[in-house]
A and B are shown apart, each in its own frame.
Chain A
Amino acid sequence: MKKKLLSVLLTLSMAAALPASALADEGAALPQGGEINIATVSCAGSLDPAGVAIDMWTEYAKLCTDGLLSYDSDGSVIYETAESYDVSDDGLVYTFHLREDAKWSDGSAVTADDFLNTIHRALDPENGGAIYANMLFGIDGAEAYHNGEGALEDVKAIAVDDHTLEFDLNAPCSYFLKMMTIPVFYPSKAGLATNEDEEWFKDPAKSLGNGAFCLESYTDGVGYTVVKNPYYYQADRVNLDKINVNFITDTTALLAGYQTGEMDVVTGLPDYVADDYTEEDGLFIWTMLTSKFILPNLEVEPLDNELVREAIALALNREEICAAIGNDYIPSLNYVAEYMLSPSSDQYFKDEQEPLFVEDQEKAKELLAEAGYPDGEGFPTLTYKYPNSEKDSLLAQGIQAQLKSVLNIDIELVGEEDGVWSTDREDGNYDLIRHSWTADFNDPINYLSLYVSGASSNYNHVADAAYDEAVANSNATTDQAERDKYLHEAQNILVSENFYVIPAVTQVYICLINPNLTNITTNDKGEPMYRFAALNA
């Protein structure tokens, strides 16, 4: 079973992560019209890019909102509202030139002010919901204004004219363009989307689209409907008339909805679906940019010893563990997500270097002996905390069994409800804990910045001067190849040299897409995109 999925995966990655039936086919005439139903597993958040722009926004933005620029599955730039951009020689000023034919769904022009509308609303000190506001802090004056210490006029995101948008940065940021796919850099119609009206995004008259589709109706708890945006500058490439997005949280219901034909697209299915379906029946593997790893508590004995952490990392046979968990879990020796593209080549980041370490059970035993615990003698029982899901329990049991058989050490498993687990992680109340991170944007820095000394999400208090320096160096250079080198150096310090984090697995999302739906593309995060999809009758 496992093998089958891996071969599917391989084929997919070779075909730029696209099932054959869905390969973009620009030449042939595509069927026009039609209506499809998409199910989204999470209705968390809102449709406001300056608000809690998480799962729900992500799905919506793929259909209805064009940003400045985005990236395709190879990591190449797709110019959306921006036609071009300039960067000053010192790397401090980014100027975007907006296309003049970009229109909102009411026919009005998309201007630089609409981009500023989102940025200003996200930074508004009164706006408590803007979860990505901190991603704007590279812009001069943004952090001060957000913290209530500066003025809006001093935020150096500037509309030079209707079609020119300028960002003045407080320091060179070599990944600034990568950040353009973060919600706060997407436009919202100035004058209609306001912080005073917290529900503007539910009202189709205010919640305008500047993408392929635009909102027609929104029903709380049920879903929303989008229709083709007649004013879209690429309207001739949009084939579907209407897309209904439904909120379905139960995975059994998701699958049943696809089987009855009520849903055309369902994501986040149980792993056995990958055994029961083939590409021809619509199986689609979403190679997410996510990484699940073990966080050792560096303040607890004996995990404060690098040899012990390394022994644990080397002792695990991840292939075997994943075989027990299911098709959607894939072994990973990397901290940065497996499918993260390199910033300087067209390879995956992980493929640019030798593996960070090699699983080696004999060496693991030696390391543990060297640390003073030959054959696990005198080694205290450690707790391993994990969220109480079926998959995580299997992962935990795999880790426990292997550490016992290889190193002869005892791990006490503590499965916790999500909220409890997350609180324990914040409070440092664990020996070992399962952690994970999913990329906000496609660049390794999004992972590596988390463990800089004093960073707020640095839960196990990594404090390593060499690591901090490597990350700082990567931020300081504009040469992507040199930057890439520093990022690898940082990951080496974090994993191979110190094992501050212990990589374990990565996860893919198993999806089913109606085989009659064609011309689906994927973006740089492996997500399926339906904006130009067509439905065969």
Chain B
Amino acid sequence: MLKYIGKRLLFGIVSLFALIVIVFFLTRFMPGNPFNYENINQSVRDELLSHYGLDRPVLEQLGVYLNNLLHGDLGISYKKAGMTVNELIRTEAPYTLRLGVISYVISLVLGVFLGIRMAVTSRESVRGGLMAFTVMGISIPNYVLALLLMLVFGVMLKLVPVVGLGTWKHYILPVASLTVYPLAQISKLVRSSYTEAMQQDYVTMAKAKGIAGRRIVLVHILKNAMIPVITASGPIIAFLVTGSFVVEEIFTIPGIGREFVDAVSNRDYTVIMGLTIFLGITLMICNLAADILCVLVDPRIKLEE
């Protein structure tokens, strides 16, 4: 097990390095630069570029960047005066992670519940209704949903606020917009794996042994039916972190998704790099954790494979 984790981490570091180098070159080869303020004298712009060393050869810039990175320094933002990238991530990542975790927990709990309902119910209308919901949930892009929710519940009904993350009420719409897709996805997964698991021999045996129906449903079958959900959780969490790009923009939430979008259009090189690294590490950890969890739940899976 430890050997496996070590190996995965090593691979992770190699791919992270490749990611850093590729993104570094991509940012530098994008036309434009961080100081393309619409209304600025060309001489001032040239001076800014040379002040930040952006007029030096790209390879030299990469060397400086990697050296700083080894010391844990992600550099300073070119756009946000006096702000380091480390500080930016420290202040803004919590918003994104909080939204992501809340959405994940809600979609997991509700998704499992709805999935089981769909699998075990004998009423066609319930199954059909839930199926329709999951299909819609998967099809509607979250920015459309976000705008729709904002219009209906914020502007027309005036039930909830739509700007920022001040009180708990502010969380309702962004969390709802983020939750629907993973919720639908999880409930679909649970439904199919659950339906399959219900026909397994151990279920028949458990029934024959006289174990209560509820216990079979919630303990015996669920444990097996959860494996696909755990595997899918890595990408789902990734979706929640990256999918928040648009939702954060729409609801004016100062998270890293919004920062990322702004950084790319502003050519804020260091911020792009820093957030890429941050998201890369997050993804790697999520995927690794999902794989390890799978083994813990299902001893038949061998990590080395």
Cβ distance A196 to chain B, nearest Cβ, rounded Å? 11
Interface status of A263 (Cβ within 8 A of chain B):
yes
Q: Which residue of chain B has its CB nearest to the CB of A126?
A: B51
Complex CA distance for A393 and B36, rounded to whole angstroms: 20
Of A200, A219, A256, A459, the contact of B162 (CB 8 Å cutoff)? A256
Q: Mark B54-97, 1 if CB is under 8 A from A, else 0.
A: 00000000000000000000000001111100001001100000
Cβ distance A249 to chain B, nearest Cβ, rounded Å? 7
From 26 to 57 in chain B, residues with beta carbon under 8 angstroms from any chain A beta carbon are 30-33, 36-44, 46-48, 51-52
From 115 to 157 in chain A, residues with beta carbon under 8 angstroms from any chain B beta carbon are 128-129, 131, 133-134
Q: How many A-B residue pairs have CB under 8 A?
A: 134
Are B80 and A220 touching (Cβ within 8 A)? yes
Q: Mark B266-295, 1 if CB is under 8 A from A, else 0.
A: 110000000000000000000000000000
Cβ distance B75 to chain A, nearest Cβ, rounded Å? 13
Complex CA distance for A472 and B294, rounded to whole angstroms: 77
Q: Which residues of A contact B252 (CB under 8 A)?
A: 246-250, 253, 257
Q: Which residue of chain A has its CB nearest to the CB of B151?
A: A256
Of A45, A128, A220, the contact of B51 (CB 8 Å cutoff)? A128
Cβ distance B41 to chain A, nearest Cβ, rounded Å? 5
Cβ distance A255 to chain B, nearest Cβ, rounded Å? 8
Q: Which residue of chain B has its CB nearest to the CB of A247?
A: B252
Of B31, B39, B251, the contact of A253 (CB 8 Å cutoff)? B251
Are B155 and A256 touching (Cβ within 8 A)? yes
Cβ distance B106 to chain A, nearest Cβ, rounded Å? 23
Interface segment out of the listed A15-23, A417-425, A479-487: A417-425
Are B265 and A262 touching (Cβ within 8 A)? no
Complex CA distance for A417 and B31, rounded to whole angstroms: 9
Of A129, A198, A246, the contact of B163 (CB 8 Å cutoff)? A246
Are A257 and B163 touching (Cβ within 8 A)? yes
Q: Mark A32-53, 1 if CB is under 8 A from B, else 0.
A: 0000000100001110100110
Of B38, B81, B154, B250, the contact of A129 (CB 8 Å cutoff)? B81
Q: Which residues of A contact B88 (CB under 8 A)?
A: 220
Interface status of A347 (Cβ within 8 A of chain B):
no
Interface status of A178 (Cβ within 8 A of chain B):
no
Q: Which residues of B contact A256 (CB under 8 A)?
A: 150-151, 154-155, 162-163
Are A419 and B43 touching (Cβ within 8 A)? no
Q: Which residues of B contact A133 (CB under 8 A)?
A: 44
Complex CA distance for A426 and B40, rounded to whole angstroms: 12
Interface status of B254 (Cβ within 8 A of chain A):
yes
Interface status of A340 (Cβ within 8 A of chain B):
no
Q: Which residues of A contact B254 (CB under 8 A)?
A: 219-222, 247
Q: Which residues of B contact A202 (CB under 8 A)?
A: 82
Complex CA distance for A252 and B249, rounded to whole angstroms: 10
Q: Which residues of A contact B44 (CB under 8 A)?
A: 131, 133-134, 456
From 203 to 231 in chain A, residues with beta carbon under 8 angstroms from any chain B beta carbon are 219-222
Interface status of B161 (Cβ within 8 A of chain A):
yes
Instruction: Known A220-B92, A250-B252; judge A419-B162 contact (CB<8 A).
Output: no
Of A45, A261, A438, the contact of B81 (CB 8 Å cutoff)? A45
Interface status of A510 (Cβ within 8 A of chain B):
no
Are A131 and B259 touching (Cβ within 8 A)? no
Interface status of A457 (Cβ within 8 A of chain B):
yes
Are A222 and B164 touching (Cβ within 8 A)? yes
Interface status of A260 (Cβ within 8 A of chain B):
yes
Q: Which residues of A contact B164 (CB under 8 A)?
A: 222, 246
Cβ distance B37 to chain A, nearest Cβ, rounded Å? 6
Interface status of A344 (Cβ within 8 A of chain B):
no
Are A128 and B52 touching (Cβ within 8 A)? yes
Q: Which residues of B contact A249 (CB under 8 A)?
A: 249, 252, 258, 262
Q: Which residues of A contact B83 (CB under 8 A)?
A: 199, 220
Cβ distance B34 to chain A, nearest Cβ, rounded Å? 9
B interface, size bucket = 35 or more
Are A253 and B81 touching (Cβ within 8 A)? no
Instruction: Known A44-B79, A48-B81, A423-B31; judge A134-B43 contact (CB<8 A).
Output: yes
Of A39, A198, A253, A422, the contact of B82 (CB 8 Å cutoff)? A198
Interface status of B158 (Cβ within 8 A of chain A):
yes
Are B46 and A422 touching (Cβ within 8 A)? no
Instruction: Known A246-B164, A256-B155, A259-B155; judge A131-B38 contact (CB<8 A).
Output: no
Q: Which residues of B contact A420 (CB under 8 A)?
A: 30-32
Cβ distance B160 to chain A, nearest Cβ, rounded Å? 9
Are A419 and B81 touching (Cβ within 8 A)? no
Interface status of B147 (Cβ within 8 A of chain A):
yes
Q: Which residue of chain B has its CB nearest to the CB of A57?
A: B81
Interface status of A437 (Cβ within 8 A of chain B):
yes
Complex CA distance for A44 and B37, rounded to whole angstroms: 9
Interface status of A452 (Cβ within 8 A of chain B):
no
Q: Which residues of A contact B151 (CB under 8 A)?
A: 256
Are B162 and A456 touching (Cβ within 8 A)? no
Are A221 and B259 touching (Cβ within 8 A)? yes
Q: Which residues of A contact B79 (CB under 8 A)?
A: 44
Are B38 and A457 touching (Cβ within 8 A)? no
Interface status of A170 (Cβ within 8 A of chain B):
no
Q: Which residues of A contact B82 (CB under 8 A)?
A: 46, 51, 198-202
Q: Which residues of A contact B91 (CB under 8 A)?
A: 220-221
Q: Which residue of chain B has its CB nearest to the CB of A147?
A: B47
Instruction: Known A198-B81, A249-B252, A419-B33; judge A438-B39 contact (CB<8 A).
Output: yes
Interface status of A523 (Cβ within 8 A of chain B):
no
Q: Which residues of B contact A222 (CB under 8 A)?
A: 164, 254
Q: Which residues of B contact A46 (CB under 8 A)?
A: 80-82
Q: Which residue of chain A has its CB nearest to the CB of B147?
A: A252
Q: Which residues of B contact A456 (CB under 8 A)?
A: 41-44, 46
Q: Which residues of B contact A417 (CB under 8 A)?
A: 31-32, 265
Are A52 and B39 touching (Cβ within 8 A)? no
Complex CA distance for A263 and B161, rounded to whole angstroms: 11
Complex CA distance for A52 and B78, rounded to whole angstroms: 10
Are A424 and B31 touching (Cβ within 8 A)? yes
Complex CA distance for A34 and B72, rounded to whole angstroms: 46
Q: Which residue of chain A has its CB nearest to the CB of B159?
A: A260
Q: Which residues of B contact A200 (CB under 8 A)?
A: 82
Q: Mark B124-167, 1 if CB is under 8 A from A, else 0.
A: 00000000000000000000000100110011001001111000
Are B42 and A426 touching (Cβ within 8 A)? yes
Are B31 and A419 touching (Cβ within 8 A)? yes
Interface status of A102 (Cβ within 8 A of chain B):
no
Complex CA distance for A221 and B32, rounded to whole angstroms: 23
Sample of 9 further A-B pairs with CB below 8 A, known A417-B32, A419-B32: A39-B163, A131-B37, A133-B44, A198-B82, A199-B82, A222-B164, A417-B31, A456-B44, A457-B43
* B interface with A by C-beta (< 8 Å): 30-33, 36-44, 46-48, 51-52, 79-83, 88, 91-92, 147, 150-151, 154-155, 158, 161-164, 249-252, 254, 258-259, 262, 265-267
11 contacts between A and B (CB under 8 A): A220-B254, A253-B252, A256-B154, A256-B155, A260-B154, A262-B163, A419-B267, A438-B38, A440-B39, A456-B42, A456-B44
The 3 lowest CB-CB distance pairs between A and B, nearest first, are: A419-B32, A128-B51, A221-B254
